[in-house]
Structure 1
Amino acid sequence: MTGTFYRLTAKDFAVLKAMLMRRRALADPIVPMLERKLAESRVIATGAVEPDLATLNSRVIFRASGGPSETRTLVQAEASAPVGSGLPVGTWRGLCLLGMRAGQSALAVWPDGRAEPILLEEVAYQPETARQAAQDRAAERRRRGLKLVYSAPADHWPLGGRGKIRQTEGDDPGPSAA
């Protein structure tokens, strides 16, 4: 993760910050990579998230070390995704991908000094963008108002029956009927 610029949502930044505090206490070897990720990142507003930005819960397609493409969902914890489909951000690859844009590559530097190149090929699903699109569609429906779907002619009665008027002139029973 060297020489790359990252964009994190406020939520993603807070998750990494909390992870850093916990992992420091345990002397976890991923701490230097977490520190670099936070130092090389810029926090952006949730409404400013581009559709090709990898955030938590994004479905990403990536290559590691020039190998075959893999599709995974970036998750906070292993248990929050079906087996084999999630990539926790507490792993080297997951942490490296978080905050990258499609087409961007970075080096994940392991504790033994080995550097693994990771290329983010595509963001197949971006939750913040999808949420914004759903809100825009709902606002459009509200703006348009109600839409008349069917209008029966005035002389048409269900099942062929004719409507009857309950009361006509002069047949008001008065207050005693109540």
Structure 2
Amino acid sequence: MSEALEITHSAPIPKVFYMEKEEKQFTECTICGKNLTGGNELYLIEKAFEKKTGSTQAELVFELACCMDCRQEMHDSLSIESNEKIAAYFEANSRVEERDRELKEHNLVDTDIWLNNCIVKNKSMDEVNEYQIYALCWKDELVFHQMPFMLCGETIDDILNLLSSKSLDIINDLTADLIDLPPEFGELFKDKKVLFI
């Protein structure tokens, strides 16, 4: 188990965080290929969804699993100023730590409760057309520690608007390099950006 985090609340990884096409859990880091389930370290899962015009059902835009080494490399590729702005935004606008305490105190380790509303705008998945969900995992368990959470498209736009052109270019390059997107999503990513946490 991770030395940096004592895992006190966890549950089996729910299907919403499975690989969509394969309908199974991620076993390797999407970026470097490191085994995630056989090791003894934490990793992240990120998924983005969008509702097409006229549809009420959200469709997967991308998904990835990321080991902590690759996550740190992505973090370090952004400028110190950009990382500070992201941290300040979350500190000023979200209740992540307070929500974490409340939900653990009442033993609400139901993924739907943690994911249903954006942690910044408090909008539900039903109210928004775009959203991303994030999970912290260990082996085949989802760890309840400030994650899992959902960010709506409006929140992601707020954060991306804080970043420099250089940091935005890095995010665009990461998206192009790391995500194997089907051709139908090519146009989507010309106009939209994703946020790697």
What TM-score comes out, normalization by structure 1 length?
0.23
Q: Which structure's relative contact order is higher, taking Cα pairs within 8 Å and 6+ residues apart?
A: 2
The answer to which structure has the higher helix fraction is 2
Q: If you compute each CA radius of gyration, which structure gives the higher value, 1 or 2?
A: 1
What TM-score comes out, normalization by structure 2 length?
0.22
